[in-house]
Structures are given as structure tokens and as C-alpha cells.
Amino acid sequence: MIKKIMSFVLIPIVFLSCASVDQRISFAPIDTDIPISATKQLYANGNVVTENSFQKSEAFMFTKNYSLPMKAKEGNIDVKNDINSLIKGSEFNGVTQLKFDIKDINTSSVPWVAIERDLSFLCVGFGGLALTSIASMPRSDNAYLILASSFFGAGAALLGISFIHEHFGNVDYIIDISGMKVKY
């Protein structure tokens, strides 16, 4: 009997406990007073300025942490202020070879949502079924009633926890932004 109950509980968990995040991250347009390029050249003052024309250049890199709610489908990262603060007050007047590299995506709360939800439905279903069958017996044992109520209560609690994780959990992105500060 116990083996049948365990297979009833474990098989749905194995097949139903899948979760993923479907999010699209984009970068806001970088509207700055200086020319910016992802290549080794710049377009400044109506001319293409090549790497050989730079008077000075210096590499830079910084890390930006970005957090997006798990339920969000799209996010927009703005690095305009970060780029402006790099150049402002310095001798440089352009940025080349701008590169965005996603180093880490932390989705630690995502897999638990599906497991919590699946377990909650199983516990509520099993507990509810047991409660109705025990309550309909002419002489029911309190121990079985408490066990069935515990399953039902645990399932309701897990459902609440999965709701909290799903609606208040975040996906965290760690992005390295690098390039060359140039003076032309």
C-alpha cells in the first residue's frame, strides 16, 4: 500500500516539476554627448575616426547587477549614466569596442516554484480525499483525521509559499561592460 502511495506522489513530481524563466533583456539606447561604438572606429563630427587616429586610449570594465521580477517578461538595462560617469571630467571624448558580457544569471528561486506547487496540489488532494473518506466512516480514528488534516494544511501552506516565490522572487543578472575610452 505504501509503495502505491509513494508512486502516486513521486511520479507526478518527477514529470511536472519543471520550471523555466522566459525573459528578454534589452539595453536602452545609450544617448550620450560622446560618440560610442562597438567597433574599433568612431563616427564623430561627420567623419570616421580610426584606431590609428586616437591620441590616447585606455581600457575600462565595470560590473552591473540587474534584478528583474520572476513574473516579468521583459527588462531594460540603462547604462547611459555609467558610461557618462566614466568619461565626464576625464580627457577622453569617446568609447570604442563597447561589449556586454552576461557573467551570471541567478535563478535560484525558479525551480522551487514548480516543486512547491506540485507538492501542494498533491498534499491538498490527498489530504482532502483522506478527510472525506475518514469523515464518512461511522467510527473514525482521530490519528487518521489528524494525519489527513496535516496533509491538507501542509499543501495549503506550500501553495502559499509557491505564490510568494513566484510573485516576489527575482532573477538576478550580473553583466560585465567593457570597452576602450579614447581621445581623438
Higher pLDDT, 118 or 59: 59
In whole angstroms, give the CA distance from residue 30 to residue 33. Answer: 10
**pLDDT band at residue 44, thresholds of 50, 70 and 90?**
confident
The pTM assigned to this predicted structure is 0.63
Asked if residue 98 has pLDDT above 90, the reply is yes
Question: Any alpha helices (H) in the chain, and if so which ranges?
Answer: 2-16, 80-87, 110-135, 142-168
Q: What is the pLDDT of residue 12?
A: 52
In whole angstroms, give the CA distance from residue 51 to residue 41. Answer: 6
Round the average pLDDT of the chain to a whole number and report it: 81
Pick the closest to residue 38 from 79, 75, 89 (CA basis): 79
Asked if residue 57 has pLDDT above 80, the reply is yes
**pLDDT band at residue 107, thresholds of 50, 70 and 90?**
confident
C-alpha cell at 42: 568612431
Chain centre distance of CA 142 = 45
Mean pLDDT comparison of 17-21, 48-52, 124-128, 174-178, highest-scoring range: 174-178
For the chain, give every domain's residue range. Answer: 24-107+171-183, 110-168
**Out of 54-68, 142-156, 170-184, which region has the weakest mean confidence (pLDDT)?**
142-156
H or E segment and range at residue 64: strand 56-69
* Non-local CB neighbours of 3 within 8 Å, separated by 6+ positions: none
Q: What is the pLDDT of residue 180?
A: 95
Using one digit for the tens of pLDDT, what is the confidence trace for 113-159? Answer: 777 778 888 888 888 888 777 777 776 667 777 878 888 888 888 88
Strand partners, 99: 178
Q: How far apart are the first and last CA of the chain?
A: 80
Strand partners, 44: 47
In whole angstroms, give the CA distance from residue 62 to residue 31. Answer: 19
Calculate mean pLDDT across residues 60-84. 87
- Percentage above 90 pLDDT, the chain: 21
Question: What is the b/e burial string over 122-149, where b = at least 16 CB atoms within 10 angstroms of the residue's CB?
Answer: bbbebbeebbeebeeeeeeeeeeeeebe
3-state DSSP assignment of residue 53: helix
